[in-house]
């Protein structure tokens, strides 16, 4: 974001920049800039909530008998956990060492490391779809990092246009689910995920795959 004020002898540059602004469309309007600036004031609060909630869910998924694998570098069990630790900024390290908002037992299993969690549900695409149609707080949608919790099926949604062979090389198979964890109450989110897993794999009654 920013503004550019040009003196009159830079009319040619002004004309060129206005053309690019209109043609490319990558320049936000004053209102969009104000919204982004306003949102930046609470970004640090939202990112902390994203991370703590994601760690809660990642740990719950890791403990679930209905999950084959959890992909979240914040977990101590993740093979890239040490790299995740080294990548933290001084501000993030300070938050971890001084925060009272993270239950100490939770920190024994890992650290908040963004709000993105992926996991492989036991079964295949049918179980994944049954999970996705039975969440109540997680909305089935493609997006990242919003305050609302979202869930999606990469094989059919975000990476549906990628050739199947390439998807397999990337580990994107039918049982892979991606969660963008929001800032809602963490216990509610965990309960929502666990309930959907019980329906998808555990045999609990719920919506069948294909129902919305």
The answer to whether the pTM exceeds 0.85 is: no
The two three-digit tokens of residue 156, written as one number: 């059919």
Higher pLDDT, 106 or 177: 177
Q: Are 32 and 24 in contact (CB under 8 A)?
A: no
Q: What is the pLDDT of residue 1?
A: 59
User: How far is residue 89's CA from residue 13's CA, in Å, rounded to a whole number?
Assistant: 39
Closest CA to 126 of 72, 178, 199, 205: 199
Tell me what the pLDDT averaged over the chain comes to: 91
pLDDT digit string (tens) for 80-95? 999 999 999 898 888 8
139, β-bridge pairs: 150
Residue 95: count other Cβ atoms within 10 Å of its Cβ.
Answer: 19
């Amino acid at each position: 974001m920013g503004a550019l004020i040009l003196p009159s002898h830079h009319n040619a540059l002004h004309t060129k920049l206005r053309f690019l602004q209109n043609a490319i469309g990558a320049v936000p309007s004053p209102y969009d800039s104000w919204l982004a600036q306003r949102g930046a004031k609470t970004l640090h609060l939202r990112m902390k909530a994203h991370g703590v909630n994601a760690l809660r869910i990642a740990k719950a998924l890791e403990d679930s008998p209905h999950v084959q694998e959890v992909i979240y570098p914040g977990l101590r069990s993740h093979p890239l956990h040490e790299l995740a630790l080294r990548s933290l900024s001084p501000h993030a390290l300070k938050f971890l060492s001084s925060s009272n908002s993270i239950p100490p037992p939770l920190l024994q299993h890992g650290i908040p490391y963004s709000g993105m969690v992926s996991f492989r549900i036991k079964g295949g695409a049918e179980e994944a779809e049954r999970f996705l149609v039975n969440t109540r707080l997680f909305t089935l949608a493609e997006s990242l990092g919003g305050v609302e919790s979202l869930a999606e099926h990469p094989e059919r949604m975000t990476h549906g246009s990628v050739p199947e062979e390439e998807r397999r090389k990337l580990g994107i198979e039918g049982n892979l689910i991606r969660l963008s964890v929001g800032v809602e109450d963490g216990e509610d989110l965990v309960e929502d995920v666990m309930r959907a897993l019980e329906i998808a794999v555990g045999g609990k009654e719920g919506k069948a795959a294909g129902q919305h």
